[in-house]
Amino acid sequence: MLDEVSILKTKLHQLINKYKHISFLETDPICFPKRYNDPLDIEIVSLISCLFAYGNVKNIQNFLNPIFQSMGESPFEFLRNRKTSFSNFFKNTKGYRFQTKEDLVVFFDTLQRILGEKNKSSPVFESFFLDPNGNFDQSTSIQNFQKLFETELLTTAKTKVLSYGLQFLIGKSKSKSPKKRISLFLRWMVRKHYPDFGLYHKIKPNEIPYPMDVHIQKLIKILGIHHKKQIQLDDAYELTEFFKKINSADPLLYDFYLTRVGIINRCKGRFEEKICNTCELNEACLVVPRGIEPRLQG
């Protein structure tokens, strides 16, 4: 086991060397907050980007680019100082996948109200994740964020039940799902090293769950790390624990680089000679025939 972890660590750092360049940021939703310098802009743009980060990167970019461009140099100030409803702002928008135009209006009106009620200080949303003692609790913190945000959305919508689109956007607090988009937001906010921002200081990088997007779910299976078909939040925390064996203080270091294997390398989760033979992870991967790269024997 130690040899396997050692091999994987070596391969992961080769992966980092390959993709640790700003040119690869455009293949990820983190490209949006990277455009700003003010922590308040970074935080609000990160939250919006992560919540809408489902579907392929091109579709996400096509939807979010016009929104952020219309918000000008400071999306935080745009949202905080806007006095009217977003109905006109989204009048020519059809919505985004599960979110209708009406859902978008409610969501952005809610952000506008929250930011208008807050003091102009960073961070804005870290407190949503903290328990009464100011700590991050793995069993309740993300769920509490979802509950608080749901309450805010219901206040804006003036209804007792959220639409399907809004419920999908923030997720159900009682669900056992891996909560990958909120986990991604936490990674960006908590980690202090490239490519993340480190705006939150009360939550540690080794406390948060791994963002279990489809690429990570595929890779942890073919790397022999995890084998469950149904991924839940507990599994996301277990993956963080696994990567603590490689990097105890910063286990989520590898998330951005691993997802490039799926997004850029087009990993299929099965042996494809052209893809696998040039992949940095081939010596650690179970789908590569053992006659090609030495690792495990069956």
In contact, 258 and 216? CB cutoff 8 Å: yes
Any idea what the Cα angle at residue 54 is, between residues 248 and 234, rounded to 5°? 40
pLDDT, position 203: 97
In contact, 190 and 208? CB cutoff 8 Å: yes
Position 212 pLDDT exceeds 90: yes
Position 2 pLDDT exceeds 70: no
DSSP code at position 98:
T
DSSP code at position 30:
G
Position 121 pLDDT exceeds 80: no
List beta partners, residue 136: 130
If we measure between CA atoms, which residue out of 62, 61, 1, 72 comes closest to residue 31?
Answer: 61
Give CA–CA dist 69/266, Å, rounded.
30
- Show contacts of 93-96: CB within 8 Å, 24+ apart: 95/165, 96/52, 96/63
Position 183 pLDDT exceeds 90: yes
If we measure between CA atoms, which residue out of 33, 30, 111 comes closest to residue 77?
Answer: 111
In contact, 126 and 203? CB cutoff 8 Å: yes
DSSP code at position 291:
T
The overall average pLDDT reported for the chain is: 91
Counting residues of the chain whose pLDDT is more than 70, the rounded percentage is 96
pLDDT, position 291: 54
**Number of neighbours of residue 243 by Cβ within 10 angstroms:** 24
Picking from 6-10, 41-45, 103-107, which range would have the lowest pLDDT averaged per residue?
6-10
pLDDT digits (tens, 9 = 90+) for 260-286: 998 998 899 899 989 998 899 988 899
What one-letter code names the amino acid at 281?
A: L
Sorting pLDDT into bands at 50, 70 and 90, what band is 297? very low
pLDDT, position 292: 47
281: tokens are 């992870």
Position 234 pLDDT exceeds 80: yes
DSSP string covering 229-245, please? SS--HHHHHHHHHHHHT
Position 293 pLDDT exceeds 50: no
pLDDT, position 84: 82
Give CA–CA dist 296/298, Å, rounded.
6
Position 106 pLDDT exceeds 70: yes
Sorting pLDDT into bands at 50, 70 and 90, what band is 294? very low
Position 296 pLDDT exceeds 60: no
**Number of neighbours of residue 71 by Cβ within 10 angstroms:** 20
pLDDT, position 88: 87
pLDDT, position 116: 87
Counting residues of the chain whose pLDDT is more than 90, the rounded percentage is 77
DSSP string covering 168-216, please? HHH--TT--S--HHHHHHHHHHH--STT------SS-TTTSPP---HHH
In contact, 32 and 298? CB cutoff 8 Å: no
Give CA–CA dist 109/112, Å, rounded.
5
If we measure between CA atoms, which residue out of 199, 185, 181, 191 comes closest to residue 247?
Answer: 191
pLDDT digits (tens, 9 = 90+) for 134-175: 999 999 999 999 999 999 999 999 999 999 999 999 999 999
List beta partners, residue 96: 99
Dihedral of alpha carbons 97, 100, 103, 107, sign: positive
